[in-house]
């Protein structure tokens, strides 16, 4: 189930006893563990009592994790329940929390009401979670609240296509909870689409598995050992060597084949294509190369973040579809990331084409990358997966997402540039001219540094069939 029974909770925390005194709120959606009415799809393998007991234990664990979170930040916890009564819930989970019925309506309507009432009571940030996610702990909850400092919406993706966590920092937009196909594999995708249509900035936390069906029980038992088994069967693919290459695409059939061929077939390397709605043969091409294909609303930052949470590698590489990696790229990635003080890396830039001026662009791009420590996405950015998660991934920006990430990372350590070139397409310069394209890129950087919102800067990137803009037109687009 994408989003199953969720517990929303408001807790009385010793000295912080009312929701108005706590600006952050954790809501836990759950169900009273009545045998025969709880986790019914697990009854064939666990029996009615066994299924209810599993639900009891998972909910108890989640509530304890929420309780632990209160020790590090002043949050209130509210438990919203279905089935049973408040007295039974208090006997089960204790007196430290406030309890409310989930109410009427479908899942979306019940979640909307929970958020709306929390903000009406004075909350500033609200995170709502379910209880059937064994991997959900205080660290992920903590990161969700932190993500709301910079994003309007945070989601915790589930492996079945739904989400186990949703957080907001302002009164809920009803569109996020209306006409979503609850109980299907497209819940997350549909929600992300609505968020983008409504201009709601979005962050994602870890991809986790829920326990709702018998096969989910098998997943939980095997997931802890699958990497160890893989390592024994294939020493070249041990956990320290695994790399996930994440490629965001949108109608890239003309370039993707060469990109994937340059990656090659290497043990321990997975390729994840996150497609933003291609109408050409991009997806078929990716599948023919054995890549994992994910669907996403268009938006490079969102696509790359979605790929990262599905990745299994200890190292991540974010690669443009029109860029070809150098030979022995894997050795370079390992070598650079193992250097003391290095937090991320990229390759030197080489542009495929003979237009006058391209060599000069390469030179300045490589100087920028080495001296200013700001490589761009067309140089193949690589980073250790745990660090990427800790820094919160790419911000959901329509442009400058790579620039912004590099600025954050270079405050933490060195951005290392591998002494080998990644070959990228010259299509931008060929379509719009060397001088015009370079001028627009520099203007976007200056405008971004001056604080002009990226949504306006995105208008400077003309569609492929646009005419090159005059300086007057460029200025007009910035201030529209």
Whether residues 418 and 434 fall in one domain: no
Whole-Å CA distances, 57 to 47, 240, 316, 464:
15, 34, 35, 55
Q: Is residue 225 part of a domain?
A: no
Q: Is residue 37 part of a domain?
A: yes
Whether residues 14 and 59 fall in one domain: yes
Whether residues 105 and 18 fall in one domain: yes
DSSP string, 108-128: HHHHHHHHHHHHHTT-SEEEE
Whole-Å CA distances, 434 to 255, 446, 468:
21, 18, 11
Owning domain of residue 417? 234-425
Whether residues 336 and 421 fall in one domain: yes
Question: CA end-to-end span of the chain, whole Å?
Answer: 43
Give me the number of domains the chain comprises: 3
Whether residues 453 and 421 fall in one domain: no
Residue 373 has a CB neighbour count (10 Å cut-off) of: 19
Whether residues 285 and 341 fall in one domain: yes
Supply the CATH number for residue 82's domain: 3.90.550.10
- Cα distance between residue 293 and residue 278, in whole Å: 12
Rounded to the nearest 5 degrees, what angle is found at the Cα of 127, between the Cα atoms of 125 and 130?
A: 170
- Cα distance between residue 63 and residue 208, in whole Å: 18
465 Cβ contact list (under 8 Å, min separation 6): none
- Cα distance between residue 74 and residue 92, in whole Å: 24
- Cα distance between residue 378 and residue 380, in whole Å: 6
Alpha helices in 10-105 (DSSP H): 43-69, 86-93
Q: Which two tokens stand for residue 228?
A: 């160890």
Q: How far is CA 283 from the centre of its chain?
A: 21
Q: Is residue 405 part of a domain?
A: yes
Kindly give the interhelix angle for 43-69 and 86-93, rounded to the nearest 10 degrees: 70
Q: How far is CA 176 from the centre of its chain?
A: 17
- Cα distance between residue 8 and residue 101, in whole Å: 10
Whether residues 410 and 308 fall in one domain: yes
Q: According to the 3-state scheme, what is the secondary structure of 213-279?
A: CHHHHHHHHHHCCHHHHHHHHCHHHCCCCCEEEEEEECCCHHHHHHHHHHHCCCCCEEEEEEECCCC
Q: Quick check: helix, strand or coil at residue 152? A: coil
Residue 161 has a CB neighbour count (10 Å cut-off) of: 18
- Domain boundary residue among 391, 407, 425? 425
283 Cβ contact list (under 8 Å, min separation 6): 273, 275, 293
Q: Is residue 394 part of a domain?
A: yes
Q: Is residue 223 part of a domain?
A: no
The backbone torsions φ and ψ at residue 359, rounded to the nearest 5 degrees and listed phi first, read -65, -35
Query: Own/partner pairs for 47-52, CB < 8 Å, 24+ apart?
Result: none
Whether residues 204 and 279 fall in one domain: no
- Domain boundary residue among 400, 425, 450? 425
CB 304 within 8 A of CB 274: yes
The backbone torsions φ and ψ at residue 202, rounded to the nearest 5 degrees and listed phi first, read -130, 140
- Domain boundary residue among 179, 214, 249? 214
Q: Which of 142, 156, 126 is nearest to 28 (CA)?
A: 126
Whether residues 102 and 135 fall in one domain: yes
pLDDT along the chain (480 residues), means of 10: 29 34 87 87 74 87 91 91 93 92 94 96 95 90 92 92 94 95 91 91 88 64 41 41 92 94 89 93 94 87 85 93 94 93 95 84 89 91 89 80 90 94 86 75 74 69 42 36
Q: Which two tokens stand for residue 254?
A: 């003309």
Q: Is residue 287 part of a domain?
A: yes
Q: How far is CA 460 from the centre of its chain?
A: 26
Q: Is residue 348 part of a domain?
A: yes
Q: Is residue 229 part of a domain?
A: no
pLDDT at 45: 61
- Beta strand 153-157 pairing with 163-168: antiparallel
Whose structure tokens read 């950087």? 445
Whether residues 351 and 461 fall in one domain: no
Whether residues 407 and 436 fall in one domain: no
- Cα distance between residue 118 and residue 131, in whole Å: 19
- Cα distance between residue 364 and residue 353, in whole Å: 17
Q: Which of 68, 70, 71, 1 is nearest to 29 (CA)?
A: 1
- Cα distance between residue 188 and residue 233, in whole Å: 34
Whether residues 435 and 409 fall in one domain: no
- Cα distance between residue 458 and residue 468, in whole Å: 15
pLDDT at 382: 97
């Amino acid at each position: 189930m994408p989003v199953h029974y969720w517990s929303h909770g408001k807790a009385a925390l010793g000295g912080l006893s009312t929701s108005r005194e706590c600006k952050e709120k954790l809501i836990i959606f759950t169900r009273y563990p009545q045998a025969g009415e709880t986790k019914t799809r697990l009854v064939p393998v666990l029996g009615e009592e066994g299924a209810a007991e599993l639900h009891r234990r998972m909910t108890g664990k989640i509530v304890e994790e929420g309780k632990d979170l209160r020790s590090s930040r002043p949050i209130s916890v509210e438990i919203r329940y279905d089935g049973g009564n408040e007295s039974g819930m208090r006997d089960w989970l204790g007196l430290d929390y406030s309890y409310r019925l989930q109410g009427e309506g479908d899942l979306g309507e019940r979640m909307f009401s929970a958020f709306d009432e929390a903000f009406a009571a004075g909350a500033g940030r609200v995170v709502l979670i379910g209880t059937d996610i064994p991997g959900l702990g205080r660290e992920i909850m903590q990161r969700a609240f932190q993500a709301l400092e910079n994003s309007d919406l945070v989601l915790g993706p589930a492996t079945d296509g739904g989400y186990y966590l949703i957080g907001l920092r302002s009164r809920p937009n009803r569109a996020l909870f209306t006409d979503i196909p609850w109980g299907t594999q497209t819940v997350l995708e549909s929600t992300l689409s609505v968020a983008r249509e409504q201009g709601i900035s979005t962050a994602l936390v870890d991809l986790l598995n829920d326990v709702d069906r018998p096969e989910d029980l098998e997943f939980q038992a095997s997931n802890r050992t699958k990497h160890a088994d893989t390592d024994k069967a294939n020493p070249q693919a041990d956990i320290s060597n695994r790399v996930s290459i994440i490629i965001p695409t949108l109608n890239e059939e003309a370039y993707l084949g060469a990109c994937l061929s340059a990656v090659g077939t290497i043990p321990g390397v997975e390729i994840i294509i996150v497609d933003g709605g291609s109408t050409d043969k991009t997806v078929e091409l990716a599948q023919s190369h054995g890549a994992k294909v994910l669907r996403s609303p268009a938006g490079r930052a969102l696509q790359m973040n979605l790929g990262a949470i599905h990745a299994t590698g200890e190292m991540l590489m974010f690669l443009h579809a029109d860029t070809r990696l150098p030979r022995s790229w894997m050795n370079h990635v390992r070598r650079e990331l193992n250097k003391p003080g290095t937090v991320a890396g990229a390759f030197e830039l080489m542009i495929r084409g003979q237009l006058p001026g391209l060599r000069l662009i390469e030179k300045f791009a490589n100087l920028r990358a080495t001296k200013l420590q700001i490589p761009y996405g067309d140089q193949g950015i690589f980073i250790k997966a745990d660090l990427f998660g800790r820094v919160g991934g790419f911000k959901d920006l329509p442009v400058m997402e790579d620039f912004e990430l590099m600025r954050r990372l270079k405050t933490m350590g060195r951005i290392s540039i591998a002494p080998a070139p990644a070959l990228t397409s010259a299509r931008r310069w060929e379509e719009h001219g060397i001088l015009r394209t370079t001028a627009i890129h520099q203007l976007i950087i200056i405008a971004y540094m001056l604080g002009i919102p990226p949504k306006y800067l995105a208008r400077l990137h003309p569609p492929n069939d646009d005419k090159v803009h005059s300086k007057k037109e460029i200025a007009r687009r910035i201030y529209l």
